[in-house]
């Protein structure tokens, strides 16, 4: 996570990719775990423009489509928790948690039909060098 901290506080346009050995994706409805899937290898890309206060995180390993989020840069990313800003209007309540063991991303996919609303939790662990 020190790499993320150094990267976010830089003054140039830059990007950084992370590879994880394990990704667990949980699908949740009304607080009940509906499905859990595990992937052996997963990636996250982050981008920062020199003049921006925000960092963009690209999630290419989602179940259905690729998507990106914005989050605020921080001087300290140890035990970092942040509500994120989304690009897609159907994605709500986005939370990012970083610590030295894992990265957890939780968000809701909303629909006009409340019976179709689900929460998704992505748990990335095993950061590779």
Pick the CATH number of 2-127 from 1.20.950, 3.30.70, 2.40.160, 2.70.98: 2.40.160
DSSP class per residue in the chain: -HHHHHHHT-SS-EEEEEEEEEEEEEEEETTEEEEEEEES-EEEEEEE-TT-SEEEEEETT-SS--EEEEEE--S--TTEEEE-EESSTTEEEEEEEE-SSEEEEEEEE--SSGGG-EEEEEEEEEE--
**Is the pTM of the predicted complex or chain greater than 0.85?**
no
pLDDT, tens digit, 9 for 90 and up, residues 44-73? 888 887 777 777 888 776 666 667 777 776
The ranges assigned to domains in the chain are 2-127
Q: Dump pLDDT digits (tens) for 106-124.
A: 888 888 888 888 998 999 9
């Amino acid at each position: 996570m020190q790499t993320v901290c150094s990267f976010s506080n830089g003054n140039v346009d830059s990007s950084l990719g992370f590879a994880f050995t394990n990704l667990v994706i949980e699908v949740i409805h009304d607080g009940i775990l509906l499905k859990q899937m595990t992937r052996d290898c997963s990636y996250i890309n982050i981008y920062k423009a020199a003049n921006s206060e925000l960092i963009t995180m690209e999630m290419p390993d989602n179940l259905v489509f690729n998507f990106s989020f914005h989050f605020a840069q921080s001087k300290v990313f140890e035990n970092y928790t942040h509500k994120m800003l989304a690009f897609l209007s159907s994605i709500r309540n986005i939370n990012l948690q970083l610590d030295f063991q894992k990265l957890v991303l939780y968000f809701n996919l909303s629909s006009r039909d409340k019976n179709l609303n689900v929460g998704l939790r992505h748990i990335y662990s095993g950061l590779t060098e």
